[in-house]
Amino acid sequence: MRIIRIIGKELVSVKENIPFNLATIISPLLFLLAFVVMVSGGITIPVETQPASSESAFLQTTTNCVAPDGTPYLKLEEASAEGAPDGRSADRFIVEEEPSISENGATGTITHLVNDVNSNMTKNYANRLTGALVNYINENREANTVEVIEETRYESDIPWDESFAVSTLVFGAMLAGLLFGQLSMTSEWENATIKLLILSPCSAAKTATGKVAGACIKAFVAGAVLVGVVALLYDRTLISGLWLVVALCLMYVIFASLGFALGIAVRSTMTAFLVSLVISLCLWVAGGGFGDLSYFGNAAQMVGSVNPATYALDAVRYAYFGGVVNFTPLIVLAVGAAVTITLVCMLYICWLKSERAIS
């Protein structure tokens, strides 16, 4: 019964600081919208061509170099004039000698004029040019060619922006959990009720559990808003709503508990907020939220294996996109949640004892 009252008090305290609670919902929403907009261009990049694509059979067929869903890898633009491109121009494909493909051989010369200092973009353009050439060769001859028979994990490629949006749900869960968790303690200092809390006859474990539960409920509401926005942006039927709810709720428990501990340690809402933002962002990037972990080295893989965000991302992605059924992420998150809340309760008990001794 006391836990219910503590939870009730935590929920009612939303009225004390409505801007903070709103900001906790709006913050991950801002990140969601920013990231989705950033990758909304998808995998198509512009390229200048010389000559115009209408004057080259090869360049015309580069428009056939597409992903299975029909998204072109390249958007062709005619180069404005010969000579060096300006800083705004994309890289340029120059057909020095028109490729000629027959069953007897293949000739041609293409120059890739690099116009971006970022070596990642040079790689992207080089890959697309090569892909277009392989496509052109395979279309114009059969002998000595290699045909790739694909079998993919998902029926169709998951759109990049949608994949990002879904992964932002995990970022939102971490941020909301940390913020509401830390606020449940830092607000006690800010409202000068910390002494009342320290001297409360209620058992420390119940107090800690009640506060963390209250933070979880608030985080759940924030998460529901994010899920709703994702649902409005993308028309996708969930593979498993239960997986989504369980994964996110376990994340709320873990991070509300961590936030609660952070609040005890830091005592200041401002500082705790900054720490929460940095922790959420870093765990999200390090868990594969910004780019799949397989791109990164052993150090990143090792960090990923102990990062709850890695498992949450796997679970949430399964909830939306399906794939191989694997209960490991949920089991790891459940164990993590149990361990975290237990440790945090113990931390609170120790802290309370030391504060009472001082008092």
Site for another protein in 254-273 (CB under 8 A): 268-271, 273
Alpha carbon distances (Å) from 121 to 37, 128, 158, 323, 330: 19, 11, 22, 30, 37
Report the nearest approach of another protein to the CB of residue 182 (Å).
11
Length of the chain: 359
SS3 of residue 49 by DSSP? strand
* Residue closest to 186 by CA, chosen among 16, 342, 8: 16
Report the nearest approach of another protein to the CB of residue 31 (Å).
6
SS3 of residue 72 by DSSP? strand
Q: Which residues within the stretch 12-71 sit at the binding site for another protein (CB under 8 A)?
A: 17-24, 26-27, 30-31, 34-35, 37-43, 45-46, 67, 69, 71
* Choices 96-104, 232-240, 253-261, 337-345; region in contact with another protein by CB under 8 A: 96-104
Pick the binder of another protein from 150, 232, 235, 358 (CB under 8 A): 150
Instruction: Confirm or reject binding of residue 235 to another protein (CB under 8 A).
Output: no
Residue among 185 and 352 whose Cβ is closer to another protein: 185
Bridge-partner residues for 57, per DSSP? none
Distance CA 157, CA 68 (A): 8
Report the nearest approach of another protein to the CB of residue 289 (Å).
10
93 sits in which H/E element: strand 92-102
Is there a contact between 172 and 32 (Cβ–Cβ < 8 Å)? yes
Site residue total, another protein (CB under 8 A): 115
Residue among 5 and 123 whose Cβ is closer to another protein: 123
Instruction: Confirm or reject binding of residue 306 to another protein (CB under 8 A).
Output: no
Q: Which residues within the stretch 188-227 sit at the binding site for another protein (CB under 8 A)?
A: 190
Pick the binder of another protein from 121, 238, 265, 349 (CB under 8 A): 121
Pick the binder of another protein from 1, 82, 86, 357 (CB under 8 A): 86
Instruction: Confirm or reject binding of residue 160 to another protein (CB under 8 A).
Output: yes
Alpha carbon distances (Å) from 90 to 50, 79, 95, 121, 184: 12, 9, 16, 10, 51
Edge to edge, what strands does the sheet with 92-102 contain? Answer: 74-78, 45-50, 92-102
